[in-house]
Amino acid sequence: LASTALLLPSARCLFDQPVQVKVEGLRSRQKGVVFSSSATYRTDGSGKIDLLRDPSLSGSYFGVEPMGLLWSMKAETLHKRFQKSCALNPHVVKFSVHEEDREDRMLAEVTNERPLTGNGVSRVPVKGRNFQGVLFTPPEGPFPAVLDLCTLMSEKRASLLASRGFMVLTVPVYTDHPDNIKQMHLDHFKEAVDFLQQQPKVGSKGVGIMARSKGGDIALSLAAFVSGVKAVVSINGCNAVVSVPLYYQNHQIISPLGSDITKLITTESGASIIKYGLGDPLAEENKYSLVPTEQAKGHFLFVASEDDLNWDSKAYMDQMAERLKHHGKENFETLCYPGAGHLLEPPYGPYCPSSFHRIVHHVVLWGGEARAHAEAEVHLWSKIQEFFRTHLSCDAAQTKAKS
């Protein structure tokens, strides 16, 4: 009987969808190695392996982890991050099965193609007067509208969210080398918000914004100063404006929170912990760096990873929640993930413990433990979609009025 490797429900699926890996036709109680990351499994009495049921006995992870072969993948060299900046190219994963101690003998092989864009979703580069990005639109409509503020240009999160029924415009916070940017203008991002609201297929009365890290303080500022922002997801963001001053309508509205390069902690691997490098947002000298989130009319979902080694994200989240409570506001939710690191992404990508940080010019530790981080990504991705659907209700009549 020939050995076969199966991917259910299909060998082709969206990047953020789980697959079931099964192997059949092996000898009874035979051990095999699934290659990519690697894990050792023992077949059952029928010569089958099912990753939904069977535990990994050794390798990149242990125990029953149906998607462990994906999130535990590692690069051959240290400090490399899995990047999918353009949504046009699918993530292709090859699963192969080998007999233990016989790496040269392949028993079965199957390829999993994981596109970043769902069927019928259009991808259109757009350029405004002061912003540039990529617009993803699902077929038909109307749709809730979301602005994805990525720190540096990336299409993965936007294209996958569009594949779940949202119109998404992804815009980078840094359009030039970060060292060249001495100030940021909220007007430029407002232009992107306005552009989204004018799209004929948008059915929501306002827009949502999702952002991580530096994009978070821009998202909070848009909610505080710009009308039409109804829902903000801030992932491991700061409650103060970081690095450069923020301007709006030709006036500086928020001063930058300073940093101290001497507070970097270098580890044996060569990667640095930069968590303690930012100033204290609540210190008296930094009070003009805080974003006045109490001015916002929309809703917030604050997300923090407890093991974030880039920023003290949990403290910032708690401070944001406390500020809103102090002003009598209840328009926010908080989500905390123990064991997760800074780089929370859509699920089933390889976990990245460290890589080169293009803003601070250091290899840094991002924090997190691989399994807990992967679980957080699955939960958060579902929560983001639920939050936007709740707070960006669609009105078909409004869509018709635009067309």
Question: Other CB atoms closer than 10 Å to residue 177's CB: what's the count?
Answer: 9
Cα angle: 348, vertex 352, 355; to 5 degrees: 145
Contact 3, 23 (CB under 8 A): yes
Indicate if 308 belongs to the active site. yes
Helix (H) or strand (E) holding 210: strand 202-212
Phi-psi region of 334 (alpha: psi -120 to 50; beta: other; left: phi over 0): beta
Q: Which of 91, 98, 299, 342 is catalytic?
A: 342
Indicate if 342 belongs to the active site. yes
Cα 198 from Cα 190, distance rounded (Å): 12
Q: Which of 308, 354, 357, 373 is catalytic?
A: 308
Backbone φ and ψ of 196, nearest 5°:
-60, -45
Q: Are strands 167-172 and 132-137 parallel, antiparallel or unpaired?
A: antiparallel
Return the HEC string of 119-184: CCCEEEEEECCCCEEEEEECCCCCEEEEEEEECCCCCHHHHHHHCCCCEEEEEECCCCCHHHCCCE
Q: Which of 60, 72, 213, 272 is catalytic?
A: 213
Q: Are strands 91-99 and 102-114 parallel, antiparallel or unpaired?
A: antiparallel
Cα 194 from Cα 197, distance rounded (Å): 5
The two three-digit tokens of residue 170, written as one number: 């992804």
- Position of tokens 């003009």? 288
- Position of tokens 């953020």? 16
Cα 23 from Cα 211, distance rounded (Å): 39
Question: Other CB atoms closer than 10 Å to residue 206's CB: what's the count?
Answer: 21
Contact 23, 44 (CB under 8 A): no
- Position of tokens 């509205």? 253
Indicate if 379 belongs to the active site. no
Three-class SS state of 26: coil
Q: Which are the catalytic amino acids?
A: 213, 308, 342
